Structure 1
């Protein structure tokens, strides 16, 4: 809700009582109040256990006039509370520990239906408070991560479920099959409202979305889109005499009215003063009619009592339509609900709220007038007020330091005081600089002031200029100096932007990182944290699912790179160890160079080597062999011209001449030849 003290609040079907879930100290509190003081007064208050944190509440009207309230909890159970007895009647437990997000009592099945964050739907018998059946929506709906809202309608004579995640699904209860899917919202759905007098129509709205869609059950199409001025928090539909009105609470706490939303003939064009976004233009181009509100109602204090921005705009936390009146509720003193009734149609059937209106409400006097008013005791000396409560963890010891400083000042002498007053100016300047640096006054490179201004004033354009900065140092310094309460608001704004444009995650991840690091302790202590950050959690889960695949791919690439490096290293080692074994394109033959030097062959002449033998070497050997043969032939010829000696003569010659004598005779012959 827009108010931080209110978790959720709803009127009962008879428009007699208002049930609210409030944050009271460290527990959640349930309060039920009567709308009219003239009726039988019912002002009850019930405190839950610390382990029970409420996510939503819903009225259960059955068994005659008896009414109960179903309280859905974060721990995965449902408490059935009776305002008449101010006690817990029963507790409905599930096998899962996922947070229960919605509970709906169906008049078609006479049973209760609940849905949780894990995508499960449960049917309960409220007579015996036992579980009837369990449906796992993810078994037949692929893209449904969690079920945020649930309702029932009659389609073709059979009861069907309307299940809201980001889209809307029509599920047959008997066959457990998906019948139709309706185009949904970008954000998680926060309201499904079937039209009472027309079973073919129903309305939906989403968290952080300005659009309210009117669907046709049979055609599975969007008939009309209602565009509010701010994101929608709650919706209500009223009918009377073939006239209807759609009432919306926006994020700013104002009430917006759309006159006759179910009639296509009386639809009016958009007001020129209201800016039309790109999404609404797309819807218009697609043939879907869009409408802007005819009236905006704002609650405020009188001008003489306005002392803060909260006084100029009182936050409306719940609405309902009782016949011809619109009933709105707001909180006073942070825990007491006050009501205002406005007529939306007159006796002649004309709409009375056709323009913007400001309702002035003075601050009420909350002094005790009777013993049991609002549960206060008249004997108490002072009333407890949630609005003025200041909670501390007991770690603040500033008063102890102040007492010590006062004691030291009493012990100081007059000379010490004069020395402090007339001390060195340089030391004073240095101390002033250090003080400023501690306070952050001299610290540069921060955008804290601009960021805080944009968050307080809800200035989206100014916030975008701050978020466009990507310097990690500037982001860290800015978040470090930011107020923790504004850090929670900034986290919601970042979550909205990431859900709308997932491509901006890389730009905004530094902001998310430092918010969690610096202000994580404060954020974790907030109630309903899982609900507020469910959209951001789903996006982070999707991105985290891709991490194992990326790591696997990284490991494979690393292995390929290492194998490639290893091959290169092995080849380089082989080349370095055996350089002689490397084959060369040019082979050196020593015999060819010798033949070229002797002039036997010419330079550049090809010499063929066959079967490992050189032709030049073979030719030399053949020439030597032929020369030997020629000499032998000459010797033979000489021997043929001389007389033939007998064997005896040869023997005699060998006996008469020795080797020395033959040599001498040969020398004599050489001399004679000369």
Structure 2
């Protein structure tokens, strides 16, 4: 289908009760069932399939059971939608010298018979009993020798007063009589194999399309000829036809993820647009029909960016469209084709946001968390009648009020779960009060609730709520909170949290963060490695004990190890790139610093500067300095001689007297 990780999906019959689908997670096919009944609040854990088993077909037998076929596998599984822990029944095909795998299947509700064709054109018939231990029992198997090409689709066609027919589809269409076991008629249709079909029993018509083909052919099963061709803008992925109060409507998903709509497709094939004379001249020419309108899904309210639609079905007068949210669950929307006009060339539908209010999923636990909004630091519970606050939030202003505590009641109070939770809350209150007094000088307050975080985390794991789990991991910014949360986590949730952390590591969920610049893991404060480390530290004993079982631990830790090893393979290159970038950054900073210094206007006193031009100037300067020093010495000598002569004259005068 349109999504990158989605392999195949199929709704139940009317009334719609759920959708079964398979997608890729950590290179492993995962089978999931999403019920659409809000009254069902239980969790259906997904089933991890063999990594070599790629599902090709999901076929609903009734509201609670479906068959899943695999590519290049000589077996198929019967799955109970209420319990995906393991297949309800595993059926192997007949082993022969020619290796065979399941090609296609169809279920006949009137006779409760399942028909399966393998790649060697061997037809298997199984009877279905919903109350038996082995619900599918093999009735017969034989090879259809008249077929010369591999088969892609098959369906049962019954008409009154006639033996049942099997319509076998490949590049051509074959009519196979189940009584005489012979091919009665054939019709060449496509270059490639058929990928989708729908049988209109009341109209004796069959609609079918092919891979890499944008045409849907309508074949009349009485004349065994093509009567109409519906033309799409791009190759057909999937289509459905709906009926409601004598109106017929055809909707098809194309390769671009748009739904192309055809109103009254059956009326147009019988509408005579030309005269009888022209019809005789044209012979058997088939009329092509263009779509009436295109339905597009947009991710924004301004209707500029389109999003792909993954699956469609009809719910009486509504066209149900489905698209994956976060590669983990479907979001459904409805378009009333019976009342809305299809005259517009384009019908725009805004994509719904991922909110609990917009979903009808079993992953939502109605008894506790109903709606939550996420911020950068905390998660605030808006409503939840049965949600028990284990750990109240404390700050500095309320710290003094918590000094006075009521006396604990002893006796029958401890016999109830509520009293035990109250006791846990009081013990944690004392710790929170001490922490608030210790951090009063630094202005910090107790922000996160460890018990509440553990409760929300356990609930997210129990309900397989990937959105809530990602939120809790991303907003937790304190390693002490992580340590306390993991220490209080129940043991049955350990393997589940390892799976979720493995998916986050594999998908690089928090890549645009500070720590992810170096390692590609975690948020701005702590990393996913911190969560994984404390899971192994606090629950290592349980993991070691579980290792001696069915190998489930090895498989899950193997996925985690594979993801971590893929990250570690690029560590040398990342460190080398980090060093190169650091050198470039330092060089750029040095250049900017030099340019800043050169551009500054610094005032310099010219008297403190000596200008030296050449070596001759230095010699002249030295001669001038020597002359000045000699002159200074001569002046000193002359001055001394003058003083000496004056002294002699004074002494002569004294002698004369």
Equivalenced residue count is 389
Q: Deviation of residue 287 (structure 1)?
A: 1.8
Residues 344 and 22 of structure 1: is their aligned pair in 2 closer, same or farther, counting only changes over 3 Å? same
Task: Give per-residue Cα distances to partners, 1:81-131, cap 9 Å, x unaligned.
Answer: 111122311011112543323221112432111223333332122334233
Match in the other structure for 1:47? 48
1:405/1:85 Cα in 2 relative to 1: closer, same or farther (>3 Å)? closer
Partner of 1:223: 227
Matched, 1:338 2:331: yes
Q: CA deviation at 1:185?
A: 1.3
1:328-407 aligned within 5 A = 328-346=321-339, 352=342, 354-365=344-355, 371=459, 374-376=463-465, 381-382=473-474, 389-390=507-508, 394=566, 397-400=569-572, 403=575
Q: List aligned pairs for 1:147-162, cutoff 5 A.
A: 147-155=151-159, 156-162=161-167
**Cα distance between partner residues in 2 of 1:387 and 1:352:** 46
Residue 397 of structure 1 and its aligned partner are, at CA, apart by 4.2
Q: Does residue 1:324 correspond to 2:317, yes or no? A: yes
Q: Deviations over 1:477-508 (max 9, x none)?
A: xxxxxxxxxxxxxxxxxxxxxxxxxxxxxxxx
Q: How far, CA to CA, are the matches of 1:22 and 1:408 in structure 2?
A: 40
Distance in 2, Cα, partners of 1:315 & 1:407: 41
Structure 1 residue 396, shift from structure 2 partner: 5.7
- Give the one of 139, 161, 179 matched to 1:174: 179
Deviation of residue 78 (structure 1)? 0.6
CA distance in 2 between counterparts of 1:266 and 1:356 reads: 26
Aligned to 1:140: 146
- Kindly tell me: are residues 118 and 403 of structure 1, through their superposed partners in 2, closer, same or farther at Cα, counting changes over 3 Å? same
Q: Report the CA distance between 1:324 and its aligned residue.
A: 0.3
Q: TM-score, with normalisation over the residues of structure 1?
A: 0.52
- C-alpha contact 1:92 1:130 (8 A) present in aligned 2: no
Say yes or no: does 1:260 pair with 2:349.
no
Is the Cα contact below 8 Å between 1:34 and 1:41 reproduced in 2? Answer: no
Q: Name the CA distance, whole Å, in 1 between partners of 2:580 and 2:311.
A: 57
What are the residue-to-residue correspondences of 1:125-524 with 2, within 5 Å?
Answer: 125-127=127-129, 128=134, 129-137=136-144, 139-141=145-147, 144-155=148-159, 156-198=161-203, 200-264=204-268, 286-302=284-300, 312-346=305-339, 352=342, 354-365=344-355, 371=459, 374-376=463-465, 381-382=473-474, 389-390=507-508, 394=566, 397-400=569-572, 403=575
**How far apart, CA to CA, are the structure 1 residues paired with 2:114 and 2:188?**
26
Superposed displacement of residue 247, structure 1: 0.9
Cα deviation for residue 8 of structure 1 reads 0.6
Alpha-carbon distance between aligned partners in 1 of 2:56 and 2:176, rounded to the nearest angstrom:
24
In structure 2, do the counterparts of structure 1 residues 267 and 232 end up closer, same or farther at CA, with 3 Å as the change threshold?
farther
Contact 2:33/2:44 (CA < 8 Å) preserved in 1? yes
Q: Alignment partner of 2:572: what SS?
A: helix
Structure 1 gap segments, 5+ residues each: 270-283, 307-311, 419-674
Give the aligned partner of residue 625 of structure 2: none
Deviation, 1:133, is 2.2
| Counterpart residue number, 1:510 | none
The higher radius of gyration belongs to 1
Q: Distance in 2 between matches of 1:95 and 1:191?
A: 27
Moved over 4 A (4+): 38-44, 265-269, 303-306, 350-354, 365-370, 377-380, 382-388, 390-393, 395-398, 401-411
Secondary structure of 2:257's counterpart equals coil
Counterpart for residue 117 of structure 1: 119
RMSD: 3.7
Given the superposition, is the C-alpha separation of residues 408 and 157 from structure 1 closer, same or farther in structure 2, using an over 3 Å criterion? closer
CA contact (8 A) 1:34 1:42 kept: no
1:267 & 1:41 partners in 2: Cα distance? 51
SS at match of 1:152: strand
**1:88 and 2:82 equivalent?**
no
Q: Indicate how the Cα distance of structure 1 residues 227 and 98 shifts in structure 2: closer, same or farther if over 3 A, else same.
A: same
1:351 Cα deviation from its structure 2 partner: 5.1
Once residues 272 and 328 of structure 2 are traced to their aligned partners in structure 1, the CA distance between those partners, rounded to angstroms, is 39
Q: What is the CA-CA distance between 1:399 and the residue it aligns to?
A: 3.1
Q: TM-score, normalised by structure 2?
A: 0.53
Segments of 5+ residues of structure 2 without an aligned counterpart are 274-281, 357-371, 374-380, 382-455, 475-499, 509-562, 591-657
Query: Alignment partner for residue 98 of structure 1, among 88, 94, 100?
Result: 100
Matches of 2:250 and 2:195, distance apart in 1: 16
Q: Secondary structure at the match of 2:87?
A: strand
Q: Which has the higher contact order (CA 8 A, sep 6+)?
A: 2
Q: 2:69–2:102: 8 Å Cα contact kept in structure 1?
A: no
Q: CA deviation at 1:135?
A: 3.5
Question: Once the 2 structures are TM-superposed, how far is the Cα of residue 393 of structure 1 from its aligned partner?
Answer: 5.7
Q: Contact 1:252/1:315 (CA < 8 Å) preserved in 2? A: yes
